[in-house]
Amino acid sequence: MDNHRQAVKSANRVLDLFELLGRWGQEMSHSEIAAALNIPKSSLSQLLPNLVDRGYIEFVPLSKGYRLGSKLTALVRDVSQSKNLNELVLPILAELTAQSGESTALNVMNGDFSEVFASVSSPQRLVSHMRSGDLAPLYATSGGKAILAFMNDAKLEDYLKRVKLKHVTKNTISSLTELRRQIATIRREKTAYAFEEFTPGIVGIAVPILSETDQALGSINVVMPAVRYNSKVRDHVVELLERGHKLVRQQLGIVEPARAKTRRKSA
């Protein structure tokens, strides 16, 4: 019980520290922080080094003061961008469907699954419907793979250690070696594919929607019947998805970096 109380007390002090520096708006010295939070300097000395090492607090040598670090502010930006994403993407999905003639979706991570958050269905008679709330293993769909590839390394390794690859169709990835190979390709090309791996007869192409810290806020994908897929269609859809991704990042206030030309996966 004592250990529990001490852990809660330390957690509260960290949160109080974040709130204090966020309100203060400039660097604060060790003594000023201890006085403002009414905690012993020795206790503060135990908290600060780890927070500085992790990037959540920054020490400024010139003023010998502390301020919120880049890791914390980047995390806040990622959360804010994720919330704004949902409002921005639906019109872009509608335009993607209009130009490609195929169904499109915004996917987000839900545990070890990819969840369809919003979708627009193709007007064609032969169509794959993606409904809001639909779940699929991250490794089995193009949208899920795009998210999976842009997890941070520690989170990705944790996922790969515990995931059980199960066949959804005969084409579903069943080898961790193959999954790692595809993840490396997706990171390089920023484009993911699924060839009848979740739904027989359906091909998916996706791009991740990346935050300022290159973490996947989600992904947008285009799905189509395999009978309509070929290299010409692939190149057209990838170009549309790249434009859509660029537009989303611009609306989120993220500058799109120059992208090197890469050779795309053949049909």
What b/e string do you get for 116-148 counting C-beta neighbours within 10 Å, with b at 16 or more?
bbbbbbbeeeebbebeeebebbbbbbbbbbbbb
Please tell me the distance from the alpha carbon of residue 140 to that of residue 118, in angstroms, as a whole number.
19
Please tell me the distance from the alpha carbon of residue 213 to that of residue 59, in angstroms, as a whole number.
21
CATH no. for 2-68: 1.10.10.10
Report yes or no: 173 and 198 within 8 Å, Cβ to Cβ. Answer: no
Calculate Rg over the CA atoms of the chain.
23
Residue 184 confidence (pLDDT): 97
Please tell me the distance from the alpha carbon of residue 123 to that of residue 102, in angstroms, as a whole number.
7
- What residues of the chain score a pLDDT lower than 70? 1-8, 25, 73-87, 255-267
- The whole-angstrom distance between residue 162's C-alpha and the CA centroid of its chain comes to 20
3-state helix, strand, coil in the chain (%, to 5): 50, 20, 30
What is 147-182 written as a DSSP string?
A: HHHTS-HHHHHHHHHH-----SSTTS---HHHHHHH
Report the top-level CATH class of 76-251.
alpha beta
**pLDDT tens, position by position, 50-109:** 899 888 888 988 888 998 887 776 665 555 555 556 667 888 999 999 999 999 999 988
Residue 78 confidence (pLDDT): 56
Report yes or no: 189 and 262 within 8 Å, Cβ to Cβ. Answer: yes
Residue 262 confidence (pLDDT): 47
Report yes or no: 195 and 116 within 8 Å, Cβ to Cβ. Answer: no
pTM of the model: 0.68
The token pair that represents 168 in the structure block? 């959804």
Cross-sheet strand order for the sheet of 192-195: 135-137, 113-120, 103-110, 216-225, 202-210, 192-195
Residue 85 confidence (pLDDT): 64
Residue 157 confidence (pLDDT): 93
The domains spanning 2-68 and 76-251 adopt the same CATH topology: no
Q: Can you tell me which residue has the tokens 């890791």?
A: 71
The domain limits of the chain are 2-68, 76-251
User: How far apart, in Å, are the Cα atoms of 253 and each of 146, 181, 214?
Assistant: 21, 32, 14
Please tell me the distance from the alpha carbon of residue 146 to that of residue 208, in angstroms, as a whole number.
5
